[in-house]
Structure 1
């Protein structure tokens, strides 16, 4: 699978005196909680949501008084700013319960149900370079509540329901060579499913829950695209209209609707042993929503709450700081962002040593907080310095591609920058 680089948000985190008191960095990385961080310009349920270049696109769906919408909103998590209206073209056709994916820096919006109640086969593609929606070949079947995923360079469309509200078990992919959609005979769902959630890890697709004639589905189906094998495991709670997001080599399964209630629970599925771990619950239970990952956080957008009303709230699951009274940094203590970053062979950091404190230590940590490489551990005179890291660990071996934390400590103060190692 071709490695694609996402936009990386570089941020400085002030940890303060509590580090010196014995709190370890792994606690700040592993500890997580959901918080409400924003409100969408309009309440939305059944919207298609994707991430592109660090921005989140919320497409279509429905509000409290409409059956389907053509509106498109864009959210910048860094500035907490929403764009829409005249800035972003609307869909050509209003749709709810569509699905979406990003391929080749274009946004594909597929199927759904129209304002007139028709289940759609149409596909619209947004090209950011042209700032317009363009037509695309129709899918083979009408599909509402399907799930789109990207595996390698292929776009797949999984399950959903047709005009007769019959759940589907078929999987389609777009055949670039013939410019058409085809069904995959060797890969079908074990049972028809609509409003399931899917996530990709390595060469496998994991499909969680959904609904069929008998109600919520409580099964995970894994399809290995390399071997063609299919495996099954059980969910803790049967649910549909949920979300699933890959992070930290696990899959976060969020919210949804069970047989008798709307769920706010978050559970972490470990593909290595098909085990489950509980995670913090959403502040507001919701179903018929979408979630995406940005950096090391997950964002959940809209949906339908316990009262059956579409939601406008946006929740974020991210690391929480255990610092309750952080100390302001001395003005002459700095650690600048690395350059280049992302990097393949070498990245450099400029830093300034404060006159107020003593010994300086700069380390490279992985995202779990484990020390990978010690760069500086010495007393230095106040002033500005530069240090480089060539992507090696303390044993001299090259580290794997991915996120790393560059932590500078002087006395009770600490600054962290993020660095990203990419394929050479």
Structure 2
């Protein structure tokens, strides 16, 4: 199967930022972006119903060459994990089954690197948390085994940054974790050894994105230990923190006393290096804590869509936007209807022709 892109018959396309429900409602919401994907063109939220995601929860989403892939997940109607993979072609509006996963799984993360889709960890039908990974080649329509994660993980997050995949946090062994792992195509490396290359807190169900040199971690569920009750406590997080992958030491000059065998009493200048932490933990909090939310970097701004509060189960309808240049949050717009309690985001370019054909089809039936 070739995934090479056909040129659209129309020179006009809509650049859509989708917020895709992952709870089984089959809903997908979108707003329009500018052609360069650096700004929002219109905030009018439109809703579609996707049969491919109806009754499926915690599936994976990937976009390769403007094809959208819905991967695996949990069928809430049959209470079974599934292997199914469905591809959507925006050019003709057709959904098509492609080669299924080797292992039925949900609550995994996905990454696209060099035109291939990597599926990381997750949970299988017997409740076991997985470390196994699978790699999909759209050109060959084949899945193959990929190097396993350092440890099993579910409800973790990942992002591609400078041609490397960063995988962080997640749930395993009745607790959340602080790990950050990197993948360069051969194996996963643990960044936890050279302190402080770990998450500030053990967390899962958060979101990751990258802007410039920074990786941003937003929201999620933080796992802490209640020392008085001697049990774990899970709290919905409002924080955003950033991690810089290229950090160097800062040099400064200090005066040092001469050694005993040196024939001088004068202090001499010595260059000393201070380690700079890669973390920025001082960024302002969101107005709303949330987990299982979608995230999208649009230009220098980070859009945080939907999600839920663990403490109340209430979904968060307000979309908040973080300006990475100003270091400020603002409340942007609100989802007025639909289920946004568990969502993910994707950008697709959709020809106008698709909507025009639907309208013409409706008119034809009305006139007939």
Give me the TM-score of the superposition, normalised by structure 1.
0.60
- For the aligned residue pairs, the C-alpha RMSD in angstroms reads 2.6
For the Cα contact (< 8 Å) 1:40–1:82, is it kept in 2?
no
2:73 maps to 1:61: yes
State the shift of 1:54 in Å: 0.5
Unaligned residue ranges in structure 1 (runs of 5+): 1-5, 15-24, 298-424
Indicate which of 194, 202, 208 corresponds to 2:212: 202
2:174 aligned residue:
165
For the Cα contact (< 8 Å) 1:47–1:289, is it kept in 2?
no
1:180 aligned residue:
187
State the shift of 1:52 in Å: 0.5
Moved over 4 A (4+): 6-10
Give me the TM-score of the superposition, normalised by structure 2.
0.69
Q: Number of residue pairs matched? A: 275
As a proportion of its length, which structure holds more strand?
2
3-state SS of 1:120 partner: strand
Indicate which of 270, 274, 284 corresponds to 2:338: 284
State the shift of 1:67 in Å: 3.7
In the TM superposition, 1:178-327 aligns within 5 A as 179-185=186-192, 186-213=196-223, 214-227=234-247, 229-232=278-281, 233=283, 234-258=285-309, 259-260=311-312, 261-282=314-335, 283-295=337-349
State the shift of 1:13 in Å: 7.8
TM-superposition CA deviations, 1:112-141 (whole Å, max 9, x none)? 100110000000000112111000111111
In the TM superposition, 1:7-406 aligns within 5 A as 11-12=11-12, 30-43=41-54, 44-64=56-76, 65-84=78-97, 88-162=98-172, 164-176=173-185, 179-185=186-192, 186-213=196-223, 214-227=234-247, 229-232=278-281, 233=283, 234-258=285-309, 259-260=311-312, 261-282=314-335, 283-295=337-349
Tell me how far apart the structure 2 counterparts of residues 119 and 103 of structure 1 sit (CA, whole Å): 24
For the Cα contact (< 8 Å) 1:8–1:54, is it kept in 2?
no
Tell me how far apart the structure 1 counterparts of residues 202 and 344 of structure 2 sit (CA, whole Å): 21
TM-superposition CA deviations, 1:178-205 (whole Å, max 9, x none)? x321111342111011110011111111
Tell me how far apart the structure 2 counterparts of residues 279 and 296 of structure 1 sit (CA, whole Å): 24
Do the aligned partners of residues 76 and 224 (structure 1) sit closer, same or farther apart at CA in structure 2, a change above 3 Å counting? same
Tell me how far apart the structure 1 counterparts of residues 293 and 338 of structure 2 sit (CA, whole Å): 14
For the Cα contact (< 8 Å) 1:112–1:120, is it kept in 2?
yes
For the Cα contact (< 8 Å) 1:149–1:198, is it kept in 2?
yes
For the Cα contact (< 8 Å) 1:47–1:290, is it kept in 2?
no
Do the aligned partners of residues 143 and 41 (structure 1) sit closer, same or farther apart at CA in structure 2, a change above 3 Å counting? same
Tell me how far apart the structure 2 counterparts of residues 248 and 217 of structure 1 sit (CA, whole Å): 25
